[in-house]
Structure 1
Amino acid sequence: MHTLVRGLLAGAAGTSALNVVTYLDMAIRARPASSTPQQAVDRMAGLVDVDLGEGERADNRKEALGALLGYGTGAGAALCYGLADARCRPSWPVGVPALTALAMVGSNAPLTLLGTTDPRSWSVADWISDVVPHLAYGVTAYAAHRLLTS
């Protein structure tokens, strides 16, 4: 199977795991969804002068595009990992943290640069809410990638 396809499939599996863990956290703690992805979409649309519409239509587009950014991040992180894996085949103690870090940096760096979040101001609960789903991504994407390369 081609590296690109393995990466996309592993990224999709990892992103699904991240979403499941995030929604479980929301259900258990009765917390709302983060508005950060929608804020990022709003800022990006302003930077490139794209009109998302008004009112509810704009809100719906921001929500959808914010979710799609997450899928893109998951795919991109697994693709980057897959390119490295083709050369050195890291074991799980290296591969899982690498995928976790790729996903965290891939999602948080752009949001920080856009000014929609600042990890330096996060509480312990905020960090846990970010690390745990990304760790689920790392474990699942690693396992999927291994299964697809064997």
Structure 2
Amino acid sequence: MHTIVKGLLAGAAGSSALNIASYLDMVVRGRGASSTPERAVERLAEDVDVDIGHGEEAEHRKEGLGALLGYGTGLGAAICYGPLAERRPSWPVGVLALSAFAMAGSNAPLAALGLTDPRRWSASAWISDIVPHLAYGAVAYAAYERLR
């Protein structure tokens, strides 16, 4: 199986795990969903001068596109991991690498857009970010290993 296909499959599995972990956190702590993905879509649409509509229609598009950006990040992180996967890293190395790729892929663009600053995050915010990304890394790693 081609490395990109493995990356897409592992990334999809990892993205599902990340979403499940995030939704469980929302249930347990009674917190709302982050609005950062929607704000990112809004900022990107402004920067490239694309009209995403107005009112409720625009809000729905931002929500959908924000979620798709997350899946794109998850797929891209696992594809980037592909060359490392060929070297068969150990479980902790592979999980941490995949988690780091996904965290960097999601947080670096948001920071570059000025929508977040991880240097100012609280411990709770870090935990809310790290735990789902570790779930992503663990499941994406397991998927890569199963695809061998």
- Structure 2 length normalisation: TM-score? 0.98
For the residue of structure 2 that corresponds to 1:50, the secondary structure is coil
Pair 1:59-2:39 in alignment = no
Partners of 2:52 and 2:16 lie apart in 1 by 27
Q: Which residue pairs with 1:24 in the alignment?
A: 24
Pair 1:128-2:111 in alignment = no
Partners of 2:92 and 2:54 lie apart in 1 by 48
Pair 1:113-2:112 in alignment = yes
The RMSD of aligned alpha carbons is 0.6
Q: Which runs of 4+ in 1 moved over 3 A?
A: none
The answer for unaligned runs of 5 or more in structure 2 is none
Letter in 2 for 1:85: A
Letter in 2 for 1:146: E
Q: Which residue pairs with 1:48 in the alignment?
A: 48
For the residue of structure 2 that corresponds to 1:13, the secondary structure is helix
- Contact 2:77–2:98 at 8 Å: present in 1 too? yes
Pair 1:35-2:35 in alignment = yes
- Structure 1 length normalisation: TM-score? 0.97
The answer for unaligned runs of 5 or more in structure 1 is none
Partners of 2:114 and 2:37 lie apart in 1 by 11
Identity across matched positions, percent: 68
